């Protein structure tokens, strides 16, 4: 196994999400080298040229379009290749199409280096499980963006209602990155105080949980119906994950990875808060959920396992 370039990041697939991720990474100053790969080589070249022309405004970074073999020594490989979710389409509708792309591409991307593989293409949870099986990499080095974005959406809605900065809101979404995701109301808090109690102390009306749940769960559908795709926020979620890896932060992020017995669940990948460091994804935390939340998480895992079964891995 050869060594990775510690500050090299590869983005495979430079559609709207991949290109936005490349932009977020270039502006962040995290990487020293950024390689873009796409089946449409001209698209990758155009994106690389456009980003490289920002050289005078960002920290030094080498940005270029490459081939599969150029990804093999990257410390982080971001897999964003595949079809986008269309209006009226669920993430699961993309499964067979994007699984085929993953199955064909992944062996070409991985070259025996100790890379961390981050899956972004939907449905991320099922494709992460497939990537684990295809790659043979250890579970801590294969995970996806999961519900990092969904958790941010949850915090955004709570911060808006409570008139506090989103960074002061602690709230997670777990389970599938999709229709069966679970908002953890029982653990959501501001300054260590439960949301309902905080609203009482602040003299504001209680949060309409049903409304917030709908806004968070259906956010992607609402965006897609208006502008055709969702890519800015998820690109920043991916940048945040890369930041925790490259800076060895040990940050808690709700990425999706292999579940091995937490809440009695196994045989699938789903999101739970996990410590993210230079080693990858640590063991997911088994948080003290309410009975309703735990049941919803198991239902979510059953949906994911049914989808995995369709692939005959």
- Closest residue by Cα to residue 101 from 85, 118, 121, 117: 121
Tally of structural domains, the chain: 2
Digit-coded pLDDT (tens) for 248-257: 999 999 999 9
Tokens of 117: 């593989």
Q: Residue 263 — left, alpha, or beta (φ > 0 → left; ψ -120 to 50 → alpha)? A: left
Three-state SS for 202? helix
Verify that 163 and 272 share a domain, yes or no.
yes
Verify that 129 and 251 share a domain, yes or no.
no
- Give the residue from 124, 144, 164 where a domain finishes: 144
Nearest 5°: phi and psi at 9? -125, 135
For residue 2, the model assigns a pLDDT of 55
- Give the residue from 96, 111, 144 where a domain finishes: 144
Look up the CATH number of the domain holding residue 152. 3.90.110.10
Q: Pick the catalytic residue from 2, 53, 170, 177.
A: 177
Question: Which residue reads 């977020």 in tokens?
Answer: 24
Cα 117 from chain centroid?
11
Verify that 162 and 102 share a domain, yes or no.
no
Verify that 129 and 191 share a domain, yes or no.
no
pTM attached to this predicted model: 0.95
Look up the CATH number of the domain holding residue 119. 3.40.50.720
Digit-coded pLDDT (tens) for 31-71: 999 999 999 999 999 999 999 999 999 999 999 999 999 99
| CA atoms of 255 and 276, how far apart (whole Å) | 9
H and E: helices and strands count for the chain: 10, 16
Task: Judge whether 177 counts as a catalytic residue.
Answer: yes
């Amino acid at each position: 196994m050869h060594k990775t370039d510690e500050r090299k990041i590869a983005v495979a697939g430079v559609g709207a999400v991949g290109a936005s991720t490349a932009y977020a990474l270039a502006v962040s100053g995290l990487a020293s080298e950024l390689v873009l790969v796409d089946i449409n080589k001209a698209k990758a070249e155009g994106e690389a040229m456009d980003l490289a022309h920002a050289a005078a405004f960002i920290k030094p970074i080498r940005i270029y379009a490459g081939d599969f073999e150029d990804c093999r020594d990257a410390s982080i490989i971001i897999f964003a290749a595949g079809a986008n979710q269309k209006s009226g389409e669920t993430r699961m509708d993309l499964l067979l199409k994007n699984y085929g792309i993953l199955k064909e591409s992944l062996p070409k991307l991985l070259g025996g280096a100790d890379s961390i593989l981050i899956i972004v293409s939907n449905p991320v949870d099922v494709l992460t499980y497939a990537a684990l099986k295809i790659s043979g990499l250890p579970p801590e080095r294969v995970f996806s963006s999961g519900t990092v974005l969904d958790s941010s959406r949850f915090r955004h809605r709570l911060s808006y209602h409570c008139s506090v900065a989103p960074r002061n809101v602690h709230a997670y979404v777990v389970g599938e990155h999709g229709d069966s995701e679970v908002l953890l109301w029982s653990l959501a808090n501001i300054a260590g105080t439960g949301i309902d109690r905080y609203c009482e102390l602040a003299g504001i009306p209680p949060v309409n949980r049903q409304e917030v749940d709908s806004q968070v769960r259906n956010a992607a559908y609402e965006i897609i119906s208006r502008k055709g795709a969702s890519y800015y926020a998820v690109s920043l979620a991916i940048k945040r994950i890369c930041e925790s890896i490259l800076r060895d932060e040990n940050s808690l992020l709700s990425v999706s990875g292999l579940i091995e017995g937490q809440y009695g669940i196994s045989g699938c990948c789903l999101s739970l808060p996990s410590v993210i460091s230079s080693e990858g994804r640590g063991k997911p935390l088994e948080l003290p959920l309410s009975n309703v939340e735990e049941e919803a998480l198991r239902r979510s895992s059953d949906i994911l396992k049914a989808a995995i079964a369709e692939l005959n891995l």
